[in-house]
Homo-oligomer: A and B are copies of this chain.
């Protein structure tokens, strides 16, 4: 490849949307407009499907004001897809890229999208086609390797923390057992973020179950009974991805659908929450047991966008374009946290394969020894990503002495 690539650009979004994935799109597009190396800016609709079907839009025809409105809007404005390109797809893909003289390709998404970018990059190399191929990170699961955290997580975590605050107040008013089922296929970061809701010592969640620790129905029932005995209520945060000791997802007993990356469909159903409810109802004498599955609200709610998350999502888009017109021929932009008290990050370009395929999970230092809670270290890690949470008022409740 020549020292300085020149040509058209293609950008697409893939995988589950987030509240800030459009910030990355807009960051990349606005940066690209400044770069003389970049000619046309094509947006591919619904990820690589748009490339395959030559279903493209002209992103130079979007006004800056409209782009800003889109950036502040959740979900993937270009549409998304869950599709791993087959060898035949790759052949077709290059036909379109060549025909359109595309030399810069940006794919915004999670580890599956990084894998797709990596495959396209390898195929381009093998085909001798000059293509600068970049992955721009996004995932509310926060499970990308190389990254301190990923764009989309902070906003989803803000939603989860706010939801937990509200339901905890509701559960104080009408006490019982409440189970919140939270997204996160293989990594429990988002479930862990529910603990940010705690202000007072008896605030929920009282139990937090992550996919990183084996889930035992027997231990679960005991845990719940202990908390209920102590507080007269019990708030539970459970990851949709909790697994038994053999690594089988608890929810998989109920759900069968898989996407083309081989992932079981865990979201969009209340089955796991209902199953955990039934377990408590059948094994204890507690009568009021309720479950809420936060579902798609977590990644799309328009009022829980973390400022830090929005700023960083914009930045990873910009940095990817800067890298592509600069000295890098491919890569993924990773967020690194600077050491020190003040929260600050840097952006680094890392090889695509470092982010593709495998994911990372919640490190041991963030999980309590009992395996049913998070540590203070996790709260310190997550707090700056989420931003300010609502102030909660409680009555002082000065008791009136009992009548004699």
Interface residues of A (CB under 8 A from B): 13, 16-17, 22, 40, 42-43, 45-46, 54-59, 61-63, 66, 68-82, 96, 99-100, 162-163, 165-167, 169-170, 172-174, 178, 267-271, 273-274, 277, 289-297, 299-304, 390-400, 402-403
Which partner residue on chain B sits nearest A254 by CB separation? B274
Q: How far is the CA of A169 from the CA of B297 in the complex (A)?
A: 11
Once A17-B174, A173-B75, A174-B17 are accepted as A-B contacts, the answer to whether A297 and B166 lie under 8 Å apart by CB is yes
Q: How far is the CA of A314 from the CA of B43 in the complex (A)?
A: 50
**Does the CB pair B173–A80 fall under 8 Å?**
yes
**Does the CB pair B270–A303 fall under 8 Å?**
no
| Cβ-neighbour of A303 out of B68, B162, B169 (below 8 A) | B162
| Cβ-neighbour of A403 out of B16, B75, B96 (below 8 A) | B96
**25 residue pairs from A and B, CB less than 8 Å apart:** A43-B395, A54-B402, A57-B398, A62-B396, A66-B393, A66-B396, A70-B394, A73-B392, A75-B170, A77-B393, A77-B394, A77-B395, A79-B173, A162-B301, A162-B302, A163-B301, A170-B296, A178-B268, A269-B277, A269-B290, A269-B291, A270-B271, A292-B295, A292-B297, A303-B304
Q: Which residues of B contact A172 (CB under 8 A)?
A: 75, 79
**Does the CB pair B296–A167 fall under 8 Å?**
yes
Q: Which residues of B contact A74 (CB under 8 A)?
A: 166, 169-170
Once A166-B297, A303-B304, A390-B302 are accepted as A-B contacts, the answer to whether A292 and B268 lie under 8 Å apart by CB is yes
Q: Which residues of B contact A42 (CB under 8 A)?
A: 400
CB distance from A7 to the nearest CB of B (A): 15
CB distance from A272 to the nearest CB of B (A): 9
Q: Which residues of B contact A63 (CB under 8 A)?
A: 396
**Does the CB pair A296–B66 fall under 8 Å?**
no
| Residue of A76, A174, A403 with highest tally of chain B CB at under 10 A | A174
| Cβ-neighbour of A267 out of B46, B73, B290 (below 8 A) | B290
Once A75-B169, A174-B80 are accepted as A-B contacts, the answer to whether A303 and B390 lie under 8 Å apart by CB is yes
Q: Which residues of B contact A271 (CB under 8 A)?
A: 270, 274
CB distance from A182 to the nearest CB of B (A): 12
Which partner residue on chain B sits nearest A177 by CB separation? B268
CB distance from A389 to the nearest CB of B (A): 8
Q: How far is the CA of A46 from the CA of B288 in the complex (A)?
A: 15
Which partner residue on chain B sits nearest A167 by CB separation? B296
Q: Which residues of B contact A45 (CB under 8 A)?
A: 397
Which partner residue on chain B sits nearest A96 by CB separation? B403
**Does the CB pair A169–B270 fall under 8 Å?**
no
Q: How far is the CA of A167 from the CA of B267 in the complex (A)?
A: 13
CB distance from A44 to the nearest CB of B (A): 10
**Does the CB pair A300–B398 fall under 8 Å?**
no
**Does the CB pair A70–B300 fall under 8 Å?**
no
Q: How far is the CA of A63 from the CA of B165 in the complex (A)?
A: 23
CB distance from A266 to the nearest CB of B (A): 11
**Does the CB pair A399–B167 fall under 8 Å?**
no
**3 nearest CB pairs, A to B:** A270-B270, A69-B393, A268-B290
13 additional A-B pairs beyond A74-B166, A269-B291, beta carbons within 8 Å, are A13-B173, A17-B173, A74-B170, A75-B169, A75-B172, A79-B173, A96-B403, A162-B303, A165-B302, A268-B292, A269-B277, A292-B293, A292-B296
**Does the CB pair A293–B293 fall under 8 Å?**
yes
**Does the CB pair B173–A76 fall under 8 Å?**
yes
CB distance from A364 to the nearest CB of B (A): 32
